[in-house]
Amino acid sequence: MSASSVVTRFAPSPTGFLHIGGARTALFNLLFARHHGGKFRLRIEDTDKARSTQAAIDAILDGMSWLDLNWDDEVVYQSQRAARHVEVAEALLANGHAYRCYATPEELAELREQQRAARQPLRYDGRWRDREGGPEQEGKPFAVRLRAQTEGETAIDDLVQGRVIVQNSELDDMILLRSDGTPTYMLAVVVDDHDMGVTHVIRGDDHLNNAFRQLGIIKAMGWPEPAYAHIPLIHGSDGAKLSKRHGALGVDAYRDELGMLPEAVNNYLLRLGWGHGDDEIISREQAVEWFDIGGVGRSPSRFDLKKLENLNGHYLREAADDRLAELVAPRVERLIGHAPDRALLARAMPELKPRAKTLDEIADGALFLFAERPLALDDKAAALLDARAQALLGQTRDALAAISEWSGEAIEAAVRQVAESAGIGLGKVAQPLRAALTGRTTSPGIFDVLVLLGREESLVRLGDQSGQAKNVHAHAIEEQ
Ligand code: GLU
């Protein structure tokens, strides 16, 4: 690895789904790495065995592949690296930057109690910092603590937050290895970032305070310091911290429940806190070319589901019809109880997709194609079909039955002819037609509807509603 090559990483703790904020962090890491021709790596921080689950790991990997957030090299699992973390703690003991602390949990609880009573900040008082264990500590459990700098200050030139300074006196001697020998999160992060060659740590600004502690370990080991970029968290549209109510769902919910396309979610997340002039629609390729971490704003961005839906509408219109048919088919199937004709769905897509913002809206718009006869009419559609409209439907049906070729042009000519001879506008014919053919008062253009349904289906649906079917039915009863 050359000294200049950029390595970023996304380091989720698998205690829940891949949420939208995590996905944005991953995206920024990926774009930064790709922009600089470097690597984007993935580390699963699964050291909290009680809270990390395989299901959560799978959800993260799945969400990342769906969003095309492809990482380089193999996934690093933090839990598998405990021996290496211990090794570094021992190296720090050996070089004098760490020490053994034999304080018992009771003693530390007492210390905290005293500090609380005196309204002092709660922090370790360094009671073992300048003291070696004697014979009475033999065989007793100990924690390994960092011998932190007590004087001066630590500055971070954060690529997003600017220069941030902390007085070293504010940082106590944190634990690196617990008395049961397990490494702490602070140690694990630093060791893993170093071993993975991470040059740029891009993560949520809730980790900014940790960076100062982590730097203490990095300096004690004499390792190169990474650059930091702490990005503001995402807030809800009302400015409050993002919660489920605001759309803080797992990315799987954006796919499955909300029916979003991955390119729309990516585009939305990119624009959440970063911008390129007034550009709204930004492809992955452009994002890689344009992304600069300095362009990320310092204030929290507000999540806006409406904007995401609008972007999704844009990407639906751009998407290939076959792909959309494949994505929409299972949604239609859930609504109608059987697998729909995919070829028909794909043929209808040019008319369906401009009218929708989500895959579910496309599925809903496609229902008329697969509706069972006689169609169930919604209230508005039923109200349209009075006696006059029924008569008109009968005439239209006859006119359509007579055309030789079932093409858009021939259909349109026939329907216009009906309107003309009835002395009414085209809309007056189109409305009842739509109601009879789709059961609704909104649908794709009426000629497209007729073409998609085909001659036979169109004619029987019109027959159903034109009074003719009822007559046929009446005859059938009479004949019995
Ligand atoms: N595992 C941490 C989290 O999920 C991130 C740690 C880091 O990026 O340094 O919040």
Q: pLDDT tens, 172-213?
A: 999 999 999 999 999 999 999 999 999 999 999 999 999 999
Final residue before a domain boundary, out of 231, 263, 285: 231
Please determine, for residue 476, whether its predicted confidence score (pLDDT) is greater than 50.
no
Which residues 6+ apart lie within 8 Å of 231 measured at CB?
24, 25, 28, 160, 202, 203, 204, 205, 273, 296
472 pLDDT above the threshold of 70: no
> Do 92 and 212 have their domain in common?
yes
Which secondary-structure segment (H or E) carries 210? Answer: helix 208-221
When divided into structural domains, the chain yields a total of 3
Judge whether residue 323 has pLDDT over 80. Answer: yes
The last residue of one of the domains, among 322, 356, 389, is: 322
Confidence band, pLDDT 50/70/90 cuts, at residue 475? very low
For residue 332, being part of any structural domain is answered with: no
Q: Which of 10, 13, 52 to mutate to test the pocket of ligand 1 (most atoms within 8 A of CB)?
A: 13
Do 380 and 469 fall into the same domain? yes
Residue whose CA lies nearest to ligand 1 atom number 6: 11
Shortest-distance atom of ligand 1 to CA 25:
8
| Owning domain of residue 401 | 371-478
pLDDT-derived band at 467 (thresholds 50, 70, 90) equals confident
Q: At 257, which CATH number? A: 1.10.1160.10
What pLDDT does residue 480 have? 40
193 C-beta closer than 6 A to ligand 1: no
Judgement on whether residues 143 and 182 belong to the same structural domain of the protein = yes
Q: Is residue 31 a part of any domain in this protein?
A: no
Structural domain contains residue 211: yes
- Angle subtended at Cα 89 by Cα 169 and Cα 111, rounded to the nearest 5 degrees: 45
The atom number, within ligand 1, closest to the CA of 22 reads 4
Number of H helices, E strands in the chain: 20, 12
- Give pLDDT, residue 238: 81
Question: Is the pLDDT score of 452 beyond 70?
Answer: yes
- Whether 225 and 257 map to the same domain: the answer is no
Question: Has residue 443 got a pLDDT over 80?
Answer: yes
For residue 369, the CA-to-ligand 1 centroid distance in Å is 48
203 and 103 co-located in one domain:
yes
pLDDT of residue 470 exceeding 50, the answer is no
Would you state the structure tokens that stand for residue 294, as one six-digit string?
A: 């300095």
User: Ligand 1: distance of its center to the CA of 187 in Å?
Assistant: 13
Domain final residue pick, 187, 202, 231: 231
Q: Is 7 helix (H, G, I), strand (E, B) or coil?
A: strand
- Average pLDDT (389-401) is 96
Strands laid side by side in the 175-177 sheet:
98-101, 143-146, 175-177
In a domain, 11, yes or no: no
Residue with tokens 């508005």: 380
Is the domain of 198 the same as that of 117?
yes
Output the CA 230–ligand 1 centroid distance in Å.
11
Does ligand 1 come within 6 angstroms of the Cβ of 207? yes
215 and 84 in a common domain = yes
Q: What are the percentages of helix, strand and coil residues in the chain, rounded to 5?
A: 55, 10, 35
Higher pLDDT, 180 or 248: 180
**Does the residue 36 lie in any domain?**
no
Per-residue pLDDT, 4: 61
Q: Which of 32, 43, 207, 230 should be mutated for ligand 1, with most atoms under 8 A from CB?
A: 207
CATH number for 135: 3.40.50.620
350 pLDDT higher than 50:
yes
- Domain of 450, CATH number, reads 1.10.10.350
34 in any annotated domain: no
Q: Is ligand 1 within 6 A of the CB of residue 209? A: no
Residues 407 and 286 in one domain: no
Report yes or no: 14 and 44 within 8 Å, Cβ to Cβ: yes
If you measure from the C-alpha of residue 75 to the centroid of ligand 1, how many angstroms do you get, rounded to a whole number?
Answer: 15
Active site residue 241: no
For 138-151, write each residue's pLDDT tens digit: 999 999 999 999 99
Q: Which atom of ligand 1 is nearest to the CA of 203?
A: 8
What pLDDT, in 10s, does the model give residues 259-304? 999 999 999 999 999 999 999 999 999 999 999 999 999 988 899 9
Q: Which pLDDT value is given to residue 246?
A: 64
Contact 45 CB / ligand 1 (< 6 Å): yes
Average pLDDT of the residues in 330-356: 97
> Which residue is associated with the tokens 């253009």?
445
Distance 253 CA to ligand 1 centre (A): 22
- Average pLDDT over the chain reads 93
- Cα(44) to ligand 1 centroid in Å equals 9
Res 250: pLDDT: 86
CA of 201 to the centre of ligand 1 (A): 10
Instruction: Determine if ligand 1 sits within 6 Å of the CB of residue 397.
Output: no
pLDDT at 17: 84
Instruction: Indicate if 157 and 286 belong to the same structural domain.
Output: no
Regarding the beta carbon of 189 and ligand 1, being less than 6 Å apart is answered: yes
Q: Give the mean model confidence (pLDDT) for residues 339-345.
A: 97
At 441, the amino acid letter reads T
Burial call 240-270: b when 16+ CB within 10 Å, e when fewer = eebeeebbbebbebbbeebbbbbbbbbbbbb
| pLDDT, tens only, 3-25 | 469 999 999 999 888 889 999 99
Atom of ligand 1 nearest to the CA of 12: 4
pLDDT at 244 over 70: no
**In a domain? residue 4:** no
Whose C-alpha lies nearest to ligand 1, atom 7? 11
* 3-state SS assignment for residue 277: coil
Q: In the structure, what pLDDT confidence band is assigned to residue 237 with cuts at 50, 70 and 90? A: confident
pLDDT digits (tens, 9 = 90+) for 51-67: 889 999 999 999 999 99
Residue 228 has pLDDT above 90, yes or no: yes
Which of the residue ranges 292-301, 443-452, 461-470 has the most confident prediction, judged by mean pLDDT? Answer: 443-452
Note whether residue 45 is domain-resident.
no
Q: Which of 140, 241, 244, 380 is catalytic?
A: 244
Residues 442 and 417 in one domain: yes
Same domain, yes or no: 206 and 97: yes
The amino acid at 393: L
Q: How far apart (Å, rounded) are the C-alpha atoms in residues 64 and 56? A: 12
pLDDT of residue 372: 94
Sign of CA dihedral 254, 256, 261, 263: positive
The finding on whether 18 has its CB within 6 A of some atom of ligand 1 is no
What number does the ligand 1 atom closest to the CA of 206 have?
Answer: 10
CA distance linking residue 7 with residue 39, whole number of Å: 5
- One domain, residues 197 and 90: yes
